[in-house]
């Protein structure tokens, strides 16, 4: 995974990030679920244009966009497409691979499957906060890395937790993963064939 790989369509990047790794300090995980967001659709923070909050989305591919959701949870996004286009991939879930003991301390005594099975859970487990917004994912404290093994089969479905443009098939997950944020609906495999 290189910066050039992130400069393409946000939907393609969201799919291609499945199987890649995210590392922060002594903790790391394999990306098993993502969602794409683009300035052209109303669920994206970039839809309203450049604001103090959204300006990061229009930056260099490979920049971390970290924001608070409902004033409670930091969420990690990978900025993509070319500079000037507001697009990012939300990292929805990871399969923990390093620093599981540290993750347990940060998250409490939960099952491995629940440590990073949601966008707020994974940032808590990895110790990622708002101070890491606008940092570089290749040279900064959060590192985006290549796949840790063979790329999994990827399921495609609709995004969740949003009310605007929920019909878009812009959610991706590693087939068979026990670490995704919630079970996939029937028909997800069929959506894969249509994508």
Q: What is the CATH number of domain 4-194?
A: 3.10.300.10
Dist. CA 112–CA 98, nearest whole Å:
11
Dist. CA 89–CA 46, nearest whole Å:
12
**What stretches in the chain show pLDDT beneath 50?**
190, 193-195
125 and 107 in contact (C-beta within 8 Å)? Answer: yes
Kindly report the pTM of this predicted structure: 0.93
64 and 136 in contact (C-beta within 8 Å)? Answer: yes
pLDDT > 70: percent of the chain? 92
The model's pLDDT over 11-64, given as tens digits with 9 standing for 90+, comes to 999 999 999 999 999 999 999 999 999 999 999 999 999 998 899 999 999 999
| N-term to C-term CA, the chain | 22
114 and 96 in contact (C-beta within 8 Å)? Answer: no
Strand stretches in the chain, DSSP E: 21-24, 27-38, 64-69, 73-79, 87-98, 142-145, 154-157, 171-174
Residue 195: predicted pLDDT: 45
What are the structure tokens assigned to 153, written together? 């089969």
């Amino acid at each position: 995974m290189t910066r050039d790989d992130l400069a393409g369509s946000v939907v393609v990047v969201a799919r291609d990030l499945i199987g890649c790794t995210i590392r922060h300090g002594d903790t790391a995980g394999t990306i098993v679920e993502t969602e794409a967001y683009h300035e052209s659709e109303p669920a994206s923070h970039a839809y309203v244009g450049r604001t103090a909050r959204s300006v990061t989305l229009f930056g260099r591919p490979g920049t971390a966009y970290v924001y608070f959701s409902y004033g409670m949870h930091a969420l990690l996004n990978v900025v993509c497409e070319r500079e000037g286009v507001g697009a990012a991939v939300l990292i929805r879930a990871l399969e923990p691979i390093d620093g599981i003991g540290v993750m347990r301390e940060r998250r409490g005594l939960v099952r491995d499957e629940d440590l990073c099975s949601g966008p707020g859970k994974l940032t808590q487990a990895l110790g990622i906060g708002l101070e890491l917004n606008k940092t570089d994912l290749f040279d900064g404290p959060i590192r985006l890395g290549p796949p840790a093994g063979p790329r999994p089969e990827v399921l495609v479905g609709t995004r969740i937790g949003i009310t605007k443009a929920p019909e878009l098939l812009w959610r991706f997950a590693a087939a068979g993963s026990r670490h995704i944020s919630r079970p996939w609906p029937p028909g997800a495999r069929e959506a894969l064939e249509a994508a």
